[in-house]
Amino acid sequence: MTKLDIDLVLVPVDGSEASHEAVDYAIGIASEYGASVHALYVLDEGVVRALESGAVDERDVAEDTAAFTASVADRAEEAGVDHSNSMAYGFSTEVKTVHPGSVVLDTAEELESDFIVVPREPVTGEPGQVLEKAAEYVLLYASQPVLSV
């Protein structure tokens, strides 16, 4: 069996239940390999459009994402795993090639992630579940090992 060299586990999240489960897996992998975890909060199209039009206050979005990433931090600290987080738009009104899957992979390359844990949610069409279609894209195009949960 091949021993993996993992220093950083990237886990894209969107605040959904599937994201919570993915975080638990990411922390477990990071703990096993002595790695750190980075939670990337990906904003969906509706939120991005609302931010750009001024229909939603940036502070409200920041509070929502901060609450989720705080729960990630609490769980990582409890497991003794180093952690960090960031937020990204999973959609662009100006650049056609920006979508949740590309944002995850671009972030993975930028951070030099060694492993990705991506939530695989059922396609429901419910707002806030931006990563439901990204898992397949990430599985197809990632240069890192990927666990889809």
Tokens of 34: 């002595």
Q: Are 52 and 5 in contact (CB under 8 A)?
A: no
Q: Are 20 and 128 in contact (CB under 8 A)?
A: no
pLDDT digits (tens, 9 = 90+) for 93-134: 677 778 889 999 999 999 999 999 999 865 555 544 557 678
Instruction: Determine the Cα–Cα distance for residues 18 and 93; give it in Å rounded to an integer.
Output: 27
User: Taking the model in full, what pTM does it have?
Assistant: 0.88
DSSP annotation of 148: E
Phi first, then psi: what are they for 87, rounded to 5°? -130, 145
